[in-house]
């Protein structure tokens, strides 16, 4: 009995420690967004981020704001967080550590706002929350089947933004095409105001006497 209790306690401890490991976030002391915070340094930012093992919250917001060409540019964590909250990407009461690895759910919520993903019934009822936003990005093929708690490497995050930018271009092209088709829709032909009316053909009177040829006589 005592040994069974010890085994049960050990199993609970292992499960608890495993759960803590799942929720722990990786931190980077000097992420790419700290080294190259300005828009003018964006090429160096992308090159440095590509080699990072994880994308931090600051990196993610910096990259997402570069994607939408935020104006005026944001060059600090505080200004990026404020811009994201103003756009409705992040709730005003949400707390994020800039140097911690960004969760896929947070990134997915931002991208669903950027791409105007409406989602299914669950998202329409509960809004663009991390779980449903992540599922929608999986559904439309932007990311593989991962959960909202997972992190992305720098290279994976860059690839995701590239796919999102391509999706934006396709959506824009389709919108332009649909607008052009609506404008060029043919209108039913109608007669012009100066079109002459067809003249009626005169009928031959039924009581008109038949003509007689020369030499015929009438009785």
Per-residue pLDDT of the chain (219 residues; tens, 9 = 90+): 444 434 333 333 333 333 333 447 899 999 999 999 999 999 999 999 999 999 999 999 999 999 999 999 999 999 999 999 999 999 988 899 999 999 999 999 999 999 999 988 888 899 999 999 999 999 999 999 999 999 999 999 999 999 999 998 888 788 888 888 888 766 555 555 555 555 555 555 555 555 554 545 444
| Tens-place pLDDT, residues 110-124 | 999 999 999 888 888
Note whether residue 31 is domain-resident: yes
What pLDDT is stored for residue 193 in this prediction?
55
If one counts every other C-beta atom within 10 angstroms of the C-beta of residue 76, the result is 14
Residue 140 lies in a domain: yes
Q: What is the pLDDT of residues 71-128, one digit of tens each?
A: 999 999 999 999 999 999 999 888 999 999 999 999 999 999 999 999 888 888 999 9
- Give per-residue burial for 81-112: e unless 16+ CB within 10 Å, then b: bebbeeeebbeeeeebebbbbbbbbbbbbbbb
- CA–CA separation, 134 vs 112, rounded Å? 9
| DSSP at 41 | G
203 occurs within a structural domain: no
Residue 191 has what pLDDT?
54
Domain membership of residue 94 (yes or no) is: yes
**Residue in the structure block whose two tokens are 């590509």:** 50
The pLDDT of residue 34:
96
Total of domains in the chain: 1
Give CA–CA dist 99/21, Å, rounded.
18
> Using alpha carbons only, what angle is made at residue 150 by residues 169 and 42, rounded to the nearest 5 degrees?
45
pLDDT of residue 137: 95
In sign, the C-alpha dihedral spanning 20, 22, 23, 27 is: positive
Q: Which domain holds residue 145?
A: 27-178
In a domain, 157, yes or no: yes
What pLDDT score does 5 carry? 39
Answer yes or no: is 81 within a domain.
Answer: yes
Domain-located, residue 198: no
């Amino acid at each position: 009995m005592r040994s069974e209790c010890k085994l049960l306690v050990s199993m609970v401890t292992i499960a608890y420690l495993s759960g803590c490991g799942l929720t722990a976030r990786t931190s980077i002391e000097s992420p790419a967004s700290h080294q190259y915070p300005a828009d003018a340094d964006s090429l160096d930012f992308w090159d440095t981020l590509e080699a990072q093992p994880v994308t931090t919250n600051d990196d993610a917001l910096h990259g997402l704001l570069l994607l939408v060409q935020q104006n005026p540019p944001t060059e600090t964590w505080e200004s990026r967080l404020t811009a994201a909250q103003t756009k409705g990407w992040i709730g005003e009461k949400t707390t994020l550590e800039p140097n911690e690895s960004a969760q896929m759910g947070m990134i997915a919520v931002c991208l669903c706002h950027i791409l105007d993903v409406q989602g299914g019934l669950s998202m329409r009822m509960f809004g663009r929350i991390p779980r449903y936003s992540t599922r929608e990005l999986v559904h439309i093929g932007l990311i593989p089947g991962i959960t909202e708690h997972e992190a992305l490497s720098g290279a994976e995050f860059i690839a995701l933004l590239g796919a999102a930018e391509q999706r934006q271009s396709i959506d824009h092209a389709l919108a332009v095409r649909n607008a052009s088709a609506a404008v060029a829709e043919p209108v039913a032909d109608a007669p012009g105001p100066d079109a002459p009316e067809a003249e009626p053909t005169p009928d031959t009177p039924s009581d008109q006497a038949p003509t007689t040829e020369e030499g015929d006589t009438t009785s």
